[in-house]
Structure 1
């Protein structure tokens, strides 16, 4: 996040969250075994733009910590945090000391029996600790830090404890002027700075195409680096960072690597590590990397909404890891389709977590019980979170119906709400919650109830993901409205997942990749496939390391200028097609120097 903007936001938020008592918004055991990005949590109405009277729910800059086998999620300006035992069901908590002001881009680390927590700041702020974070009990660990020079921070901090040396470090940075910084911390002095902080590395958009600013890296504006995070793997230190800016589809995480915690660091030629510029939930930058209880790695990030304000966002997470050569990766292929929650250590790059449930609703006909102005029902199937349908009135019984055009097997739905002209500036659970019903039909006349949120305890679900108890054969799927707190009922996307009964598409033919004179760019081209809904361009630095994915829809052009490459690095590309029925075999890999 940009430091000057964040400082203003922090001042506005100061004192709003004083005096919280512990509150649980209980979530029932859903029985779900799958998840879908954006994460289905009760995003909070955000006070960033309170003075401008803009009301919207948002979540950004996530940190998920595995603490004693349970998971804790910290998010920018949320008035609290989330706790989960399975990474599917999350409970929101506020704390006895949710401190003095709310937190931007917080840092957290679990060391032995203690969870430590620290906020972004340009002032002097304390580190908190808890031995019972699931109960919302926090105490002051120190009264920390002398103030650093103006604009240095530590903003967007990361706390790191090296288990092999028992030494502590902090990394931080959020700027298009300054680098990522790092410093050792003195445990004997309650984690005060130990010596002088140091510059770790700077952005270099002249050699790293993905670090260029703007949509698809097309803006000459100087990019931002932010969101530091450190992971140690097999003796190597992976210092991660977000770039080039949170308000674009290309927001991503990269890494530098070193044999020492404070460097010198070497740029990873395979960057970016986590990158999702296409599809519904675009953007994957500024998050963290953690391991689950099976030892699997995950990478979290920030996905862009940008409707009410440029920094309106959601939270995503992707299977991640390190290959046998030590290359770090995050798997964003079909990253906003349903995935299985692992019950064991996965293999390879985690493709086995993809359920194979395809998107059934893209550009399918949609009708509504009523429509406000020009915000028509057809916008709920365009896979764009910045377009939306709105009802004439926010009242129970309003409906949205999607015609899948043929009978298909429906397995899950996701309802993404839009805060259009919202007037909500608090998060009182008795007022702010979401309820609806999902119906299915084979003929559009006889309807069967597939899911009913009125049967569960009230909670807010701006990105509600519902895995049906059993697959349902249906042609029509209907959303029936019950309640949202906003004055206007608005939905950006009603996404339906499952499988058709036809054939997967053929492999796209004549796929080519040509490097431009500016080696940061490559021109891609392919032949469209009859019956395809979309395509995944897969690429990487070796034929067996196609870890990157850029998703396209079939109604988009079949040519694209990819502007995310690193100078001096050879690349390899392939493409696959997909539709409601499945995914084609990937094309032959082509290489460019």
Structure 2
């Protein structure tokens, strides 16, 4: 009781201040990107159709949301993000928040690549022609296709392209095959669709040497790896060619790295491999992305995050710092799922999930969709209120702590765009119990018009031992499921 007494006095000003929107101090993975699109392979399905193979996971087909395979570009004080399925997003606060800026060519194929070269921005997607613009947000104009016989002989099909500009020269890397490798060729710096010389295989699939390249959640399939997602980074005169393997639909999906003194090799594996692999916890399948220099010349990786519930391509996006060790090996220290400072030297006091695994109860529950499933550190389970629950409420209890932020990850059950059931804003508020029976609104999204499948919000620090999510509205036809309701704060 003594812990709550000071907050009885402060309850009135807190009630007035707590719900005011705050500019976030931190970023949190998966990134809270607005307007997550419906997955490319789910846009024209018949909801409820039987699973006919491919990477479908559920017995019956459902639509899902998808962003993955990101290219990021730091330009004139902002991040520009170009992922699979839609483009582009911009962050003017170093990755804390993002705004959607649809391009005139929003979806040119999986794994788009964008590079600034010779004063222009070049854009290329899997199987697409090259586009160019004077601005990172377009308009992009077609330049032409690469006259390379993709898919013939040993050449892989043109999937997962990467364009790299180096001291006025331009290089093209690609590859995405079951057991092939990563290829590269130089392009004419001015006539960018003209190859200079023949393409060469730069990295081979070597499952016996690198078992982590093998497919599967246990890397058990040594005949297949799906080497893909090439990315080039130059550092201290050396060339670091990264790639991903293990299968984007598996939690073992990871990044590796080869190094050379030349952009076309010969390449050798660096001593530290894989450079980024996270197989347990909330963030897994940390492959296919980019490693780029951002604010203050600090290295960042933007990467794919596994969410696969109904399809293997159901994915999200994360970002975290990258680094070089004392021996010059490129690596990513950690995949994070809690709020992190964006600037080196900023307050890094950990904000932990206060309610992880703690009692979490819904005002009602659909069958097999209990409230506790929204606090189990997984995007693959969720709380779904009963269909006749007029105002669903999810209440979570935890040891009394100072709440600094909340994250709500929704699942739009019933999504069916061919029948007019479309994504849209979820409206809600989050309340904290500041004294027994006294609830204060700490996050107010009751008037939201934004489509945030993942919503991370910071609040005025508020001492509480319970928090509740009050669902106030959702897109028509959608059942508002909550995959994760997380309350963050420091350990006191």
Q: Do the two structures share a fold, i.e. TM-score over 0.5?
A: yes
- Residues 168 and 419 of structure 1: is their aligned pair in 2 closer, same or farther, counting only changes over 3 Å? same
* Alignment-derived partner of residue 183 in structure 1: 185
Distance, in Å, in 1 between the alignment partners of 2:388 and 2:296 is: 44
* Alignment-derived partner of residue 102 in structure 2: 94
- Contact map agreement 1:408 1:475 (CA 8 A) in 2: yes
Is 1:59 matched up with 2:77? no
What pairs up with 1:357-376 in 2 under 5 angstroms? 357-376=351-370
- Residues 30 and 82 of structure 1: is their aligned pair in 2 closer, same or farther, counting only changes over 3 Å? farther
Q: How many Å apart are 1:443 and its aligned residue? A: 4.4
- Contact map agreement 2:208 2:222 (CA 8 A) in 1: no
Q: How many Å apart are 1:186 and its aligned residue? A: 1.0
Larger RCO: 1 or 2 (CA < 8 Å, sep 6+): 2
What pairs up with 1:322-341 in 2 under 5 angstroms? 322-332=324-334, 335-341=336-342
- Contact map agreement 2:179 2:223 (CA 8 A) in 1: no
Selected match of 1:84 from 72, 75, 91: 91
Q: How many Å apart are 1:114 and its aligned residue? A: 2.3
Q: Aligned residue pairs: how many? A: 453
Is 1:217 matched up with 2:224? no
Distance, in Å, in 2 between the alignment partners of 1:61 and 1:496 is: 29
Q: How many Å apart are 1:213 and its aligned residue? A: 2.1
Q: Deviations over 1:427-449 (max 9, x none)?
A: 999x6223211100044511000
Distance, in Å, in 1 between the alignment partners of 2:100 and 2:418 is: 18
Give the TM-score normalised by the residue count of structure 1: 0.72
Structure 1: segments with no counterpart, 5+ residues = 1-27, 502-593
Is 1:72 matched up with 2:72? no
Q: Deviations over 1:4-25 (max 9, x none)?
A: xxxxxxxxxxxxxxxxxxxxxx
Deviating runs (4+, > 6 A) in structure 1? Answer: 426-429
Structure 2: segments with no counterpart, 5+ residues = 1-19, 48-61
* Alignment-derived partner of residue 415 in structure 2: 422
Distance, in Å, in 2 between the alignment partners of 1:268 and 1:339 is: 28
What pairs up with 1:139-538 in 2 under 5 angstroms? 139-150=141-152, 152-163=156-167, 166-220=168-222, 222-332=224-334, 335-342=336-343, 346=344, 354-393=348-387, 397-404=391-398, 406-424=399-417, 432-443=424-435, 445-455=437-447, 458-468=449-459, 470-485=460-475, 487-501=478-492
Distance, in Å, in 1 between the alignment partners of 2:379 and 2:68 is: 16
Distance, in Å, in 2 between the alignment partners of 1:426 and 1:258 is: 52
Distance, in Å, in 1 between the alignment partners of 2:347 and 2:73 is: 21
Q: Deviations over 1:122-173 (max 9, x none)?
A: xxx3211222334x4222233443442347222101100112xx21101111
- Contact map agreement 2:180 2:205 (CA 8 A) in 1: no
- Contact map agreement 1:44 1:427 (CA 8 A) in 2: no
Is 1:129 matched up with 2:137? no
Q: Deviations over 1:303-359 (max 9, x none)?
A: 1111021221100111002234211111216x11110121xxx38xxxx77441112
* Alignment-derived partner of residue 55 in structure 2: none
What root-mean-square deviation, in Å, do the aligned CA atoms of Structure 1 and Structure 2 show? 2.3
* Alignment-derived partner of residue 6 in structure 2: none
Q: Deviations over 1:259-283 (max 9, x none)?
A: 0100000111211111221211212
Give the TM-score normalised by the residue count of structure 2: 0.86
Of 441-450 and 294-303, deviating more is 441-450
